[in-house]
Amino acid sequence: MSGISKAEEVLLEQIRSGDQHAWEQLVTRYRGRLLSFARAKLGQRADAEDIIQDTFIAFLTGLSSFRADAGIETYLFTILRRKIINSYRSAHSKHICLLQDVYQRTQRTIGDSDAFSAMPSDEMTASFYARKDEQNELLRSTLSEALTVLVDNYKSTLNFRDMQIVELLFYCQFSNKDVARIVEINERNIAVIKHRCLKQVRDHAASSKLNVTQETQLEDLLTQVWEAGRLSCPKRSTIGAYMLGTLDGNWHDYVKFHLNKLGCHFCRANLTDLQEQTAEDKSQHLQKRIMESTIGFLHKPR
Ligand SMILES: [Zn+2]
């Protein structure tokens, strides 16, 4: 899910050079999912639209320093989410998934252990991806590599059980105990899987001669990296296939877990947007049918 496509790169280049049509294209592409995300967080408030507008302004004004490795969608979501957190300081606004809303009591994302409160202030949002701390940067990219290998391996071997566990542990920072309860697997097995992952990640970091000191520091970093790259999030086209019911068994179940049980707010926003688009297409289709079938009856002399 991470990275930027060639087509997006071209689009950004056009926007940077002031191409209004390109900008319009980008706004059209992303506004629906951003609005769905904002509405999921804020309810049907009128200011959901204001905050989307601010998000696009922040995107444009920070464009010169945008480092494209996270992709446009994730970057826009990051800006939007930061704005929501700043404007509505409720516990829920920080959560990246529904399940965290349910389990928030047991969350350890309080104070400075929270991946997002570690982020710079609102004005700094745009430079989040442009941060120049080289050592930190190197560590992040190494961890991102290690996690990508891990996630790709789960996908290619259809090991979605471990994928779900690792998602709950690192994307959502749930405790072993809560993960055990959610996936109904012995807590000891969860600990084994977690240990295996952390070892793999550490080994990868060590091979790049990087030193990760504390365990909690590592886990916080992993959450930040996971979220910044949305490593396990299915592609929008995969969410579309899920919606149409054309995914096969294992994938279907995984995407269902990610959307409904974990309840990833980013992917749910995409699903809602896709559903609304489909509804719109259908109503346009109906509109067209009605027009075609009725047009002959217009202006007919009696
Ligand atoms: Zn997701």
* Angle of the 215-229 helix axis to the 72-87 helix axis, nearest 10: 120
- How many angstroms separate the alpha carbon of residue 157 from the centre of ligand 1? 20
The full 3-state SS of 205-257, as one line of letters, equals HHHCCCCCCCHHHHHHHHHHHHHHHCCCCCCHHHHHHHHHCCCCHHHHHHHHH
- How many angstroms separate the alpha carbon of residue 286 from the centre of ligand 1? 32
Confidence band, pLDDT 50/70/90 cuts, at residue 86: confident
* Domain spans in the chain, listed from the N-terminal domain onward: 6-99, 134-232, 234-290
Confidence band, pLDDT 50/70/90 cuts, at residue 68: low
Q: How many residues does the chain have?
A: 302
- How many angstroms separate the alpha carbon of residue 232 from the centre of ligand 1? 7
Distance of alpha carbon 158 from alpha carbon 153, whole angstroms? 8
DSSP state of 261: I
- How many angstroms separate the alpha carbon of residue 122 from the centre of ligand 1? 23
- Any idea which architecture 6-99 has in CATH? Orthogonal Bundle (1.10)
Lowest mean pLDDT among 11-25, 36-50, 285-299: 285-299
- How many angstroms separate the alpha carbon of residue 193 from the centre of ligand 1? 21
Cα 191 off chain centre by: 26
Which two tokens mark 243? 């919606």
SS3 for 60? helix
Lowest mean pLDDT among 102-106, 119-123, 192-196: 119-123
Average predicted confidence (pLDDT) for the chain: 82
Q: Is residue 163 within 8 Å of 151, Cβ to Cβ?
A: yes
- How many angstroms separate the alpha carbon of residue 236 from the centre of ligand 1? 10
Share of the chain above pLDDT 90, in %: 37
Give mean pLDDT, residues 182-200. Answer: 94
Lowest mean pLDDT among 57-66, 87-96, 116-125, 138-147: 116-125
- How many angstroms separate the alpha carbon of residue 100 from the centre of ligand 1? 14
- How many angstroms separate the alpha carbon of residue 83 from the centre of ligand 1? 19
Q: How many CA atoms lie within 13 Å of 255's alpha carbon, on the beta-carbon side?
A: 23
Specify the pTM: 0.76
- How many angstroms separate the alpha carbon of residue 292 from the centre of ligand 1? 41
pLDDT value of residue 92: 67
Q: What is the CATH number of domain 134-232?
A: 1.10.10
Lowest mean pLDDT among 35-44, 72-81, 87-96: 87-96
Lowest mean pLDDT among 60-74, 126-140, 212-226: 126-140
CB 49: neighbour CB atoms within 10 A? 13
- Type of residue at 114: D
